[in-house]
Amino acid sequence: MKPEKSYLKPAILKQAIAVAMASDAPKKMGAILLKRNKIIAAATNEHSKTHTVQYFAAQNAAKVWGDPNLAKKTFPHCEVKCLIKAKEDADTIVVCRVGGHGGKELRYGRPCRICTTYLQNCSNVVHIHYSTEEGFFYEYWG
Ligand SMILES: [Zn+2]
């Protein structure tokens, strides 16, 4: 499916931007999970601590994509961290990356290969929203 403009309300997208801006990683990313339009979890990416779930997600992606470099990415990405934190099954994720001057400009934040594989195999999330320099886009992964 070709990406289209995100249909989410600006208030929700602003929350995703706020989470990304709160990241203390050099590459600032944040994700929020929604269940029937309600936010059930939020997380930033992590650059100082590894996590077992991210480790296995990375190992699996390295196998699936035939790229051993992926296996080294053991610092939790915001998508994986958000799914670890969620206590309910989400149907929607919003992934945001910010950068530029003042760290307020939207950057391309489509889930990477590790997160794509993890979302598709280990969650019920099918509605994917992500930031780009031209605003938020949407893809259906069902
Ligand atoms: Zn990722």
- Annotated domain spans of the chain: 4-140
The listed CATH number (3.60.21.10, 3.90.1490.10, 3.50.50.60, 3.40.140.10) that belongs to domain 4-140: 3.40.140.10
Contact 71, 117 (CB under 8 A): no
What number is the average pLDDT over the span 88-97?
98
Q: Does 93 score more than 90 pLDDT?
A: yes
Distance 95 CA to ligand 1 centre (A): 10
Taking all residues of the chain, what is their mean pLDDT, rounded to a whole number? 96
Q: How far is the CA of 119 from the centre of ligand 1 (A)?
A: 10
Choose the weakest-confidence range: 72-81, 88-97, 100-109: 100-109
User: Taking phi first (over 0 means left), then psi (-120 to 50 degrees means alpha), and beta for anything else, what does residue 6 get?
Assistant: beta
* Pair type for strands 127-132 and 92-99: parallel
Q: Cα(101) to centroid of ligand 1, in Å?
A: 23
Between the CA of 9 and the centroid of ligand 1 the distance, in Å, is: 24
| Centre of ligand 1 from the C-alpha of residue 7, in Å | 23
pLDDT tier, 66 (very low <50, low <70, confident <90, very high otherwise): very high
d(CA 111, CA 128): 9
Q: Which of 81, 111, 83 is nearest to 95 (CA)?
A: 111
pLDDT band at 102 (very low <50, low <70, confident <90, very high): confident
Separation of 112 CA from ligand 1 center, angstroms?
4
Do the strands 135-140 and 105-107 form a parallel or antiparallel pair, or are they unpaired? unpaired
Cα 63 to averaged position of ligand 1 atoms, centre (Å): 15
65: Cβ contacts below 8 Å, ≥ 6 apart: 113, 117
Residue 131 one-letter amino acid = S
Give distance in angstroms: CA of 76 to centre of ligand 1.
8
Q: Comparing C-alpha atoms, which of 76, 95, 79, 98 is closest to residue 22?
A: 98
Residue 43 has pLDDT above 80, yes or no: yes
Distance 44 CA to ligand 1 centre (A): 11
- Token pair in block for residue 106: 């939207």
For residues 42-64, average pLDDT: 97
